[in-house]
Amino acid sequence: MMETDQHTNPVISKWLNKRPLIISGPCSAETREQLLETAIQLAGTGMVDVIRAGIWKPRTHPGNFEGIGTKGLPWLQEVKKITGLAVTVEVARAKHIEDALNFEVDILWIGARSTVNPATVQEVASALRGVNIPVLIKNPMNPDIELWIGALERIAGAGIKNIGLVHRGFSTFGNTEYRNTPMWHIAIEMKRRNPELMMICDPTHISGRREIIQSVAQKAIDLNFDGLMIESHIDPDKALTDGRQQLTPLALEKLLQSITWRKEKSGQQPYDTILEQLRDQVDLIDDELFNLLSRRMKISEQIGEYKKQNEITILQKNRWNEILEKRKQIGKTLGLSCTFIDKYLTAIHMESINHQNKVMNS
């Protein structure tokens, strides 16, 4: 569990315990008026817990707006004072941390372009030694869970007690539906390995365009994420960074109202019991499936033995095509999708070949 007792600041202890935690604010702080107006409107929704703002922006191309810099930190201090909400900024350098702490920033976050680079993460971690501040770690740009874990190890190793994770998707080459493909399984695996850490979703950077943010956010909540980080700007079309994916505070409020918030348990006895019974049934069926798969592999080994004695190749193309076609037909009538049948049979086939291979080369 996250430690709460070390924080006397009520804003921070509220942050640690609130579920779902909602973080919102502009991609970048641009002017004092833009930041304050956005933050005040967001606070007015009553649904936002933490105000974010990029102060130093690591940009892909040189010459783009690289953030207002330290000059924007007093604006965040004003935001804190006026709204009573906690504030968070992205840090990538020791100097960023020093400045952020001087201006009473409550939470730091490490961006995807930093998590991907162990040298940067180490610089941040070293600067954090002896500091008591919560840190959020975004996933790295590329789908490498080890880089994410490495960053976590470095930050935890620096003595940071309150660490959260942020899933913001992974970059790919070429156009896809998303700016950054979610690859939900990586976030789920990260959560499985670190169940004590909060996992927040950033549907803004996954989506890259405001039209699909709601559906990504809903999916994250359906998957039991602990909160959302969504960018908001009073005038998104005039934003200096990430204009296509920012929402006005009003649009953000509507989006949050449209989400079906789910919890892990219904808290009502009969429903949770029904769920448990259904899960027991699923477990029993999985037991059966595993026993059947094991039996199937033993038969494959016998086939391997036969092929070995008769000097027949393991793979016979026609036989495999026959199996695929036949099973796809049967699968359809049983309500199983072709994609699933394909993946399932390919996995079984590979395992079966491995078993036969072992027998034939023993």
Q: Amino acid identity, residue 24? A: S
Q: Which of Mn ion, ligand PEP, none binds 50 (CB below 5-8 Å, type-dependent)?
A: none
Q: Is 205 in the site for ligand PEP (CB under 6 A)?
A: yes
Q: Is 233 in the site for ligand PEP (CB under 6 A)?
A: no
Beta carbon of residue 71, minimum distance to Mn ion (angstroms, whole number): 19
Separation of CA 103 from chain center = 29
Site string for ligand PEP, 27-46 (x = CB under 6 A): x-------------------
Q: How many residues bind Mn ion (CB under 5 A)?
A: 2
**Smaller CB separation from ligand PEP, 138 or 154:** 138
**Which residues in 105-124 contact ligand PEP (CB under 6 A)?**
111-113
Beta carbon of residue 117, minimum distance to ligand PEP (angstroms, whole number): 12
Q: Is 242 in the site for Mn ion (CB under 5 A)?
A: yes
Cβ atoms of 324 and 339 within 8 Å: the answer is no
- The residue among 138, 99, 91, 96 whose CA lies nearest residue 115 is 138
Q: Is 30 in the site for Mn ion (CB under 5 A)?
A: no
- The residue among 138, 72, 139 whose CA lies nearest residue 100 is 72
**Smaller CB separation from Mn ion, 242 or 253:** 242
Beta carbon of residue 203, minimum distance to Mn ion (angstroms, whole number): 12
Beta carbon of residue 304, minimum distance to ligand PEP (angstroms, whole number): 49
Separation of CA 119 from chain center = 22
**Smaller CB separation from ligand PEP, 15 or 170:** 170
Give bridge partners of residue 199 from the DSSP assignment.
165
Give bridge partners of residue 181 from the DSSP assignment.
170
Q: Which of 27, 53, 92, 158 binds Mn ion (CB under 5 A)?
A: 27
| Per-residue b or e along 300-332, where b marks 16 or more CB atoms closer than 10 Å to that residue's CB | bbebbeebeeeeeebeeeeeeeeebeebeeebe
Cα 26 to Cα 320: distance, rounded to the nearest angstrom: 54
Q: Which of ligand PEP, Mn ion, none binds 253 (CB below 5-8 Å, type-dependent)?
A: none
Q: What's the full length of the chain, in residues?
A: 362
Beta carbon of residue 65, minimum distance to ligand PEP (angstroms, whole number): 12
**Smaller CB separation from ligand PEP, 7 or 205:** 205
Q: Which residue is nearest to ligand PEP (CB)?
A: 111
What values do phi and psi take at 280, rounded to 5? -60, -40
Q: Which of Mn ion, ligand PEP, none binds 80 (CB below 5-8 Å, type-dependent)?
A: none
Helices (H), the chain: 10-17, 32-45, 73-83, 94-102, 112-115, 118-128, 145-157, 184-193, 203-207, 213-222, 249-258, 269-309, 317-333, 338-360
**Smaller CB separation from ligand PEP, 166 or 360:** 166
**Which residues in 152-181 contact ligand PEP (CB under 6 A)?**
168
Give the pairing type, strands 86-90 and 163-167: unpaired
**Smaller CB separation from ligand PEP, 89 or 341:** 89
Q: Which of 20, 54, 72, 304 binds ligand PEP (CB under 6 A)?
A: 54
Cα 304 to Cα 359: distance, rounded to the nearest angstrom: 6
Q: Is 198 in the site for ligand PEP (CB under 6 A)?
A: no
Cα 283 to Cα 277: distance, rounded to the nearest angstrom: 10
Cβ atoms of 37 and 74 within 8 Å: the answer is no
**Smaller CB separation from Mn ion, 27 or 136:** 27
Q: Which of 138, 167, 191, 327 binds ligand PEP (CB under 6 A)?
A: 138
Q: Which of ligand PEP, Mn ion, none binds 111 (CB below 5-8 Å, type-dependent)?
A: ligand PEP
Beta carbon of residue 231, minimum distance to Mn ion (angstroms, whole number): 6
Contacts with ligand PEP, residue ranges (CB under 6 A):
27, 54, 111-113, 138, 168, 202, 205
